[in-house]
Chain A
Amino acid sequence: MKTKKSKNAVVDTTVLTDALLQPNGKGDSARASLTRYEATLLPTYAIKEFKAGPLHNYVWLHNKVVEAATYGEVLSAIQSNMAYRRYLPSTAMKALANFSSSIAKQTPPEVSQMYPDLTVDEAQLLQLRRWLKQLILRAWRRRTALVTEEISPLPCYTQRAPETRGSGQLETSPKKCGD
């Protein structure tokens, strides 16, 4: 038996963020929820907030990875810059510190010895950087593909994809109206 779809839903920044950036449970739920409506409407302000907030956080981490000399430096940067958060999740930090699924950790020693210019640490950084950049740019590309219609355009706001700078970092401007 087919379930009748509800009519319309306005997609807010939280749902958009979960659908685009959350990998598993929350992300799956958000993406599934969007399919339950005949029409999903995305106001431009949600895109603006998404880019200035959650997406910007990912870009920040990406740029830290680009600049870091070691994987430990990235972890330190997270600790230092997120210190204002009382609830910085220790389990998540441990998972990141471990990074057990990294290619570097799964590379047989004889293979990694063949590439002395790329240390295990650098390989981990590079893998993280490759993943973050594709996640960020694909999230931006898919922002409107997830919904049936974009509504309430903001004439003062230019929707510009994150740009890659010569340094390899990403730039997310404009973040607000009139920038």
Chain B
Amino acid sequence: MAGASLEFTQPDELWAIPSLSPAMEVPVERDMLTIKDLYADAPGRPQILLKAQAILVAGLERMAAARDYIVGEELLNADYEVTLFQGDLPELFYFSASVEGFSTVVVAIHDALKNRQGKPLDLDQINAIRRCLTALTDRPFMKYDDALDLVDLLETTGLCVNPPESSAVAEILLEDEEVEERGS
């Protein structure tokens, strides 16, 4: 797979943009910048960015392969490609952690794949994930609203973007009124 042999150096090189912090939104004027724009001519550009790019490119290749396998009705091979991509997602999350929109989409894809519970993706779902990966590649510093649009897109294909624990959270947070009524 492309980029599999790349190494990264230090985690603090993460995206290496001075004003970025976990609590801050990326400024609007940066949302259209790509990784290539930012570091095209930078000497010694952070290897970590190359690693991110490599995982995204590999993911796109795997999802394209999965799409082709589905079209050819080779469902097992399609699922094999998706499962390999799923295995790469944790690392993508770890080094995108401080980029809010990016990691939001990665978490949504992770939960969507986790919620499959072994079921294969259909063509629409694969295409939606491909669109997400393309957006993450082209616009890693996308506006937060654009990230939410991508999460919406995943959901419209029937993917569940909530972690399995979301039912527990809802049970804890949404039952107040019932309890108060019982108690009154």
Contacts and interface: CB of A to CB of B under 8 A. Distances in A.
**Chain A bound to chain B:** yes
B148 interface: yes
Contacts of A134: 104, 107-108, 147-148, 151, 161
B107 A118 contact: no
Contact of A103 (B93, B151, B167): B93
Interface string B27-53: 000000000000000000000000000
Nearest to B12: A117
Interface residues of B, number: 48
Contacts of A98: 165
B164 A107 contact: no
A86 B178 CA distance: 11
Contacts of B100: 130
B174 A54 contact: yes
Contacts of A95: 164-165, 167-168
A173 interface: no
A138 interface: yes
B19 interface: no
Interface string B16-28: 0000001111000
Contact of A22 (B22, B104, B170, B183): B170
A17 B178 CA distance: 13
Contact of B90 (A14, A93, A96, A108): A108
Counting chain A residues whose Cβ lies within 8 A of the other chain, the interface size class is 35 or more
B111 A131 contact: yes
Interface of A: 14, 17, 21-24, 26, 53-54, 57-58, 61, 66, 78, 82, 85-89, 91-93, 95-96, 98-104, 106-108, 111-112, 114-118, 123, 126-127, 130-131, 133-135, 137-138, 141, 164, 166-168
6 contacts: A95-B165, A103-B89, A111-B90, A131-B163, A166-B23, A167-B23
Interface of B: 8, 11-12, 22-25, 89-91, 93-95, 97, 100, 103-104, 107-108, 110-111, 114, 144, 147-148, 151-152, 160-177, 179, 182-183
